[in-house]
Amino acid sequence: MSEADRVLSNFTPEVREERTYSEKKLRVGIIGTGWIAEAHVESYLRQPDVQIVAMADLIPGKAEKFAAHYGVKNCKFYPDHKAMLENEQLDAVSVCTYNTQHAAPTIDALNRGVHVLLEKPFTATLDEAVDIMRAEKKSGKVLTIGFQPRMDANMKQIKKIVDSGALGQIYYIQTGGGRRRGIPNSTFIEKKTAGIGALGDIGCYSLDMVLNAIGYPKPLTASGYTSNFFGTSTDYQKPEDAARFNVDDFAAAFIRLEGGIILDFRIAWAMHLDTPGDTVILGTKGALRIPSTECWNGSVGGPMKLYHDLAGEQVETVIPIIPEDESGLFDKKIRSFLDAIIFDRPAPVPSSQILYNQAIINAIGDSAELGREVEIKIPQI
């Protein structure tokens, strides 16, 4: 048994499944053929029970060029998601549009009885997330949100450690991440397409990592701060990008969760620091330190460390990194969506959880604007 296997066997072992595919090929459509659609299409093309039959993009000719690049044959092209949904009999779609165009295609697809894999973050606003969930409830179809880090074995290990009771009662969490310089471009930096900046783009991952581990308790209040000193500065951005930059590039917040848990959060696309700090989960029996990441690779930033007492001594257990297996995180994300459809399973990343993620993100933005703590109110679905 390797060192990694020995330490990890202290927690719940992973159950490996035999792979079964659908006998009938699922007819899949792609909405939005930008950057992230590449990863979706590459993964769908590896699935024997999927046929990509349609693609839509607002930019004329973009979907056609995209399909040709990936050798997708017998595919129809549409100028927007509406035309595609009206003209095609689809089983499922990937919604790969920018954030402010997450809600409309998802709601329209669900209303037509089509299963949806929606890219992260859930939406740009909490109201949109609620509207999507109401359409999901009415349709009875699968809606999963594209958090591929959930599929990573190291990320799963965080939840297993919490569930094992090794940390005792959790009362404080510090999380976040980001990078010294790493402001994205294109549709990510304007409110009209992105809605939110670093807070939604990479903040949603850091929040999901810890909230999923502790079972997504309800968020109660948030006191938030956002800024965009780097994004709007020609010292760090091209003048044309600085001029149109109007989202956040840094956010910090103090969030109260049900169960008396405090969540201390910061995220950055750019700052004069390599990391805003590791993630730490403090409990009454132990604490877990998760090395910081830049929030785009889908895994933890290095071996995690469990701090606990053993026979009266203060000890530390290093949790070795579990190497990613050959089928990467995106294949797992796509496959878990397809399996939920085929086997009538619950969504792998359910909207009911990510609603809280979205509520926190929007509350941080609201609080920053108002300059005071805000109560988080979650509407009934």
Ligand X SMILES: NC(=O)c1ccc[n+]([C@@H]2O[C@H](COP(=O)([O-])OP(=O)(O)OC[C@H]3O[C@@H](n4cnc5c(N)ncnc54)[C@H](O)[C@@H]3O)[C@@H](O)[C@H]2O)c1
| Binding stretches for ligand X (CB under 6 A) | 31-37, 56-59, 62, 80-81, 96-99, 101, 105, 119-120, 146, 148, 186-187, 201
Which ranges constitute the DSSP H helices of the chain? 3-8, 35-45, 62-70, 81-87, 103-111, 126-139, 153-163, 191-194, 198-201, 203-213, 239-244, 329-342, 351-370
Q: Closest approach of Cβ 25 to ligand X, in Å?
A: 23
Nearer to ligand X, 136 or 281 (CB): 136
Nearer to ligand X, 68 or 273 (CB): 68
Q: Closest approach of Cβ 195 to ligand X, in Å?
A: 9
- Neighbour count for residue 5 (Cβ, 10 Å): 11
Q: Closest approach of Cβ 180 to ligand X, in Å?
A: 20
Q: Which residue is nearest to ligand X (CB)?
A: 34
Which helix (H) or strand (E) element contains residue 251? strand 250-257
Q: Specify the residue for token string 């591929």.
A: 148
Nearer to ligand X, 117 or 261 (CB): 117
- What the block records as the tokens of 314 is 């203060």
Nearer to ligand X, 58 or 220 (CB): 58
Q: Closest approach of Cβ 34 to ligand X, in Å?
A: 2
Specify whether the CB–CB gap between 8 and 322 falls below 8 A.
yes
Which of 323, 317, 282 has the alpha carbon at shortest distance from 299? 323
C-alpha to C-alpha distance for 313 and 238, rounded to whole angstroms? 55
C-alpha to C-alpha distance for 270 and 183, rounded to whole angstroms? 6
Which helix (H) or strand (E) element contains residue 289? strand 286-290
Residue 146 CA, chain-centre distance (Å), reads 5
SS3 assignment, position 280: strand
Nearer to ligand X, 59 or 243 (CB): 59
Q: Closest approach of Cβ 331 to ligand X, in Å?
A: 13
Q: Closest approach of Cβ 54 to ligand X, in Å?
A: 11
